[in-house]
Amino acid sequence: MAAAITTLKEVLHAGGPAPDRADKMGLYGWLIGAWTMDAVIVADDGTRHEGKGEICFGWVLGGRAIQDVWVLPGFFHGTTLRVYDPALDAWHILWSDPLKQYYTRQLGRAEGPDIVQHGKLEDGTAIRWRFTEITPNAFRWLGDLSSDDGKTWRLQADFRARRAAS
């Protein structure tokens, strides 16, 4: 008798958070679902790119992680893997954009009413990505850069997202 063939969807996607850490998965768990966004990207020279895109969040890896896909047509198409680490009581954030060949790693935690992710680029530039103005059906996502170890920050991205109608 032949073994059943398992699909990527069957082994990647999960129906909800893993029971052994469900209480901690809520930091990002409220994002599960589909979102639309209005985006503003600010280049190093100050030029702005504005557009509309979409974001989809889902439970993956046995409910121990959340994966999302962010699409801003003509500008980026990437994915984040958000993995909760009980030893750190923080989230490992791994962003990958094969279109731009842009990859980052950060740690995410709640800071007051916001979710803040801190990391560094390969050249040592500090990055800070923030979910702010959070409601059940909307959020603002801000991406900042700092070349002086966080003394001052420069806005790189400003996304205003709304939950998509079902």
pLDDT averaged over 10-residue windows placed end to end, the chain, 166 residues: 75 92 94 98 92 97 96 93 96 94 96 97 95 97 95 96 90
Residue 24 lies in a domain: yes
The CATH number given to whatever domain includes residue 49 is: 2.40.128.20
Residue whose token pair is 């900042």:
144
Domain that holds residue 34: 11-163
Residue 36 lies in a domain: yes
Residue 5 lies in a domain: no
Residue 155 lies in a domain: yes
pLDDT at 2: 61
pLDDT at 99: 87
Structural domain count, the chain: 1
- As a whole number of angstroms, the distance between CA 161 and CA 133 comes to 10
Give 62's DSSP letter. Answer: G
Residue 3 lies in a domain: no
pLDDT at 7: 87
Q: Do residues 157 and 141 lie in contact, with contact meaning Cβ atoms separated by under 8 Å?
A: yes
pLDDT at 142: 98
- As a whole number of angstroms, the distance between CA 128 and CA 14 comes to 29
